[in-house]
Every structure is written in C-alpha cells, then in structure tokens.
Structure 1
Amino acid sequence: MTVDTIQKITVDADLSELKPIIRSIIGQTCWAARLSYGDELTLDIGGKIPYKQKVMAGKYKGEWILGTRGSEWSLESASGIITSTAEPAEVFKEKVKVIEGTTITDVETNYPDLVLIVGFTNGYQLKVFPDLEDDFDLSYWELFTPNNRLVTLEPGGIWTNRRSDVPMT
C-alpha cells in the first residue's frame, strides 16, 4: 500500500519522488485527446478501461488520465506552437488530435518553473504552465494512475500523491 504524499517544492530535489511516478507513462500510447469539464485538456493514455456507469456504456477511459485542470498549456512542434489555450476551445479540440495514437517518449518537470512537458513520438510536446502566483484552490494538473492514485501539482508549489478511489477529506 502506497502512503499519501504531500510535498512542498522548494528545490529540484523535492521532485525526486514525483519524477519516477510521472515518467511511468513513458512508452504508453495517448489514444484520446479531448476536452473535459471547463474545456480542460484531458489525455487518455495506456489501456482502454470501460466505464462502470450505465450512462457511459460503450465508452472508455484511459488506464492513465492526464488533465490540465485550469492551467494554460500549449502543444508545440519544432516549428512552433500548434495550438494552445489561447485559441477557442472548438479550434484547439481538433488540433490536439495530432497526438492521438502516438507514444509518450518523455515526461519532465523541474524547479523552479514546474512546467510539465510531455513528449510524443511525432515530435510534438505538450507543455502545461502552472501559474505559481495563483492561489486558486484548483490543481495545475492531475494524473490518474492505474493503481487508483491521483498525482497532482497544487497551488503553493506542492505535489501530492493520494488515493483516487476514496473521497478527499
């Protein structure tokens, strides 16, 4: 059983436990890039898991799910930005589909900017930019894992690793 982690990030070494967790998606396929509630970008990664709810019959979610939450993000190639939150949702929701079916090649975040960078086999990179000055009560990004864990980057420069199958208190 994994113990819950709440870690304030004040130096790069504070990310030493987080990095192996998020790098676990390297080698996994991103099979869906979609918008979730609030026009947040969500990536379904790894195996396809059928939803248990009857209203979702015939639909699947990723074994891993990466959500951008309320953060700014961009999808970039070597030639520049393909799309970002600066574009209307109806535009970027189509443009992000270029990463569907690709394999994740790298995942990185470093102190002090804590930008999350996800690389794909087609050369694109998803960059999620936390607004470290914003103290809004919403994580900058979240990663649901296959073993019922939820890993987040929170306001105040805090990363967490908690059970996702029990209500938060």
Structure 2
Amino acid sequence: MTTKLIDLRQAREGAPDRLSELQAYLAQLVGESFRFARISYGDELTLHFGDLRPARSPKLRKQPYGAYVLGVRASPWLLKSGNAPLVLSGGIDIGITSDFGKPVSKEELAAHPFVELDSVVLRAVPFVIKPSNALGLQLRFSDGSTLHVLPSPPAADENDEQGLPALADWELASPGGLLSAGPGLVWAFKPASSTGSESMQTGEGN
C-alpha cells in the first residue's frame, strides 16, 4: 500500500483528466460529520460539516457554520434519504407531473434535511457529466443517504454576461482553503492564505 501526503497549502488547478487529484482534495471531507443544511443567498443549498464555529459578523451571530461547507451554487441536485423512501430534488426536471410530490420551503429543509444528524461522509467522488461537459459530485453518508450535484450547461444569457467572474458549479470551503469545480471541466484549489473562503462559510460577502 502506497502512502501519500496531500499538501493543502499549495494552490492547484486541474483538468478533467486529473479527476483522481480532485478526489484527493475532496478526501478532507471524508470522515466529517453532517451538521445541518441551509439555503443561503440566491437560494443556494449549503451543507455544513465538522466542528461548528461562530460567525465572524455580528449580524450573523445566530448562524454558526461548519468547518467544512459544501455549496452547490446554482447547480441542480438530488438527495436520497437513507432512513426513509424519500427523494429531494432542487432544479432538476425529472419529467414528473406537477401534482406529484410537494414543494419544500427553506425552513422545512433546514429543519428536516433528510440526512441523519452527525452522519459521517464515507465517500466524496467527482465524475464527468458528458452531455453537460461539467463536473458532478456524489457524497455518500453513513446513514445510507446520498447527494448528487449535477451541473447543467449555462444558459445562453449567462455566457453573454460581460465583466462578471464565472461562478463555480460547486465549492467546498474548508479550514485549508477553497476547492471549486467548474464551470466546465476545470477545477481549482486556493489555500486559505490566498482566499476569503471563510466568507462563504459565514455568509459574508455574498
């Protein structure tokens, strides 16, 4: 068995043929406990893991955040509960009629995230979505739940926007830095010393 050390103090940019390296950076999430889900600015789903920390901003003092925060940005996602026959989806058109299933509010999702509290992340696996030319993400939890992040191609008007930085399809903020995937088949890791990743964790700067 080969033992390898991943240095999270170094910036890194990757291409689709380096998925194994992206998965290596995601390894920092494995073993962390799920704390809660939150819908942040722009209706973005965020999942919080690890030790809870107080927000730095006084106006957000009642909103602690996890040491690790996964944000799906505007990407569609699918969450399958491991302790009940329930599927929760956001932004995905799965071809079912509007009278099948029911809408879930932000408050309901925060109170009942469909993942058992303190469930541990067992696997964090990136994969290529060929029709969209995007990087998806699958998380598996110890309670049997799974999360799939399934980025879709940007709308035409998004491609025409000028002067605005491209938004990642999903991001993982951690004590070590910020891991971002997309748009497209690219990914990057920026160490905490060179990025304000904590602003994503606390909700500041959004």
TM-score by length of 1: 0.82
Contact 1:105–1:121, Cα closer than 8 Å, also in 2 = yes
Aligned counterpart, 1:98: 114
Post-superposition Cα deviations, 1:3-38, rounded to whole Å, max 9, x if no partner, equal: 2222222x3xx1222112112211111101111111
Instruction: Give the whole-Å Cα distance in 2 for the aligned partners of 1:52 and 1:7.
Output: 31
| 1:123 has 2:144 as partner | yes
8 Å CA contact 2:33, 2:118 repeated in 1: yes
SS of match in other structure, 1:110: strand
CA contact (8 A) 1:144 1:164 kept: no
Percent identity over paired residues: 26
Q: 1:34 maps to what in 2? A: 38
Any gaps of 5 or more consecutive residues in structure 2? 1-7, 92-101, 159-165, 197-206
Aligned equivalents of 1:153, 1:54: Cα separation in 2 = 31
CA contact (8 A) 1:66 1:144 kept: yes
Aligned letter for 1:145? Answer: S
**Bigger CA radius of gyration:** 2
| Aligned twin of 2:168 | 139
Q: Provide, for residues 45-69 of structure 1, a one-character-per-residue CA deviation record: whole Å limited to 9, x for no partner.
A: 0011111222222431110000000
5 Å matches for 1:20-31? 20-31=24-35
Code of the aligned partner of 1:163: P
TM (norm. structure 2) is 0.69
Q: Within 1, Cα distance between the matches of 2:120 and 2:182?
A: 27
RMSD: 2.6
Listed as ranges, the gaps of 5+ residues in structure 1 are none
Q: How far apart in 1 are the matches of 2:62 and 2:76?
A: 31
Higher strand share: 1
SS at match of 2:68: strand
CA distance in 1, matches of 2:186, 2:112: 28
SS class of match (1:19): helix
Verify the 8 A CA contact 1:74 1:81 in the aligned structure 2: no
What amino acid sits opposite 1:104 in the alignment? V
Task: Return 149-158 or 75-84, whichever deviates more.
Answer: 75-84
**Letter of the 2:136 counterpart:** V
Cα distance in 1 for residues equivalent to 2:103 and 2:178: 28
In the comparison of the two structures, how many residue pairs are matched?
163
- Inter-CA distance 158–68: structure 2 relative to 1 (3 Å threshold): same
Instruction: Give the CA deviation at 1:77.
Output: 4.3
Q: What corresponds to 1:7 in structure 2?
A: 14
Deviation for aligned residue 1:96: 5.6
The change in CA–CA distance for 1:95 and 1:50 in structure 2 (over 3 A counts) is closer
Partner of 1:75: 79
CA drift of 1:123 comes to 0.7
Bigger shift: residues 29-38 or 94-103: 94-103
Cα separation, 2, equivalents of 1:80 and 1:160 = 36
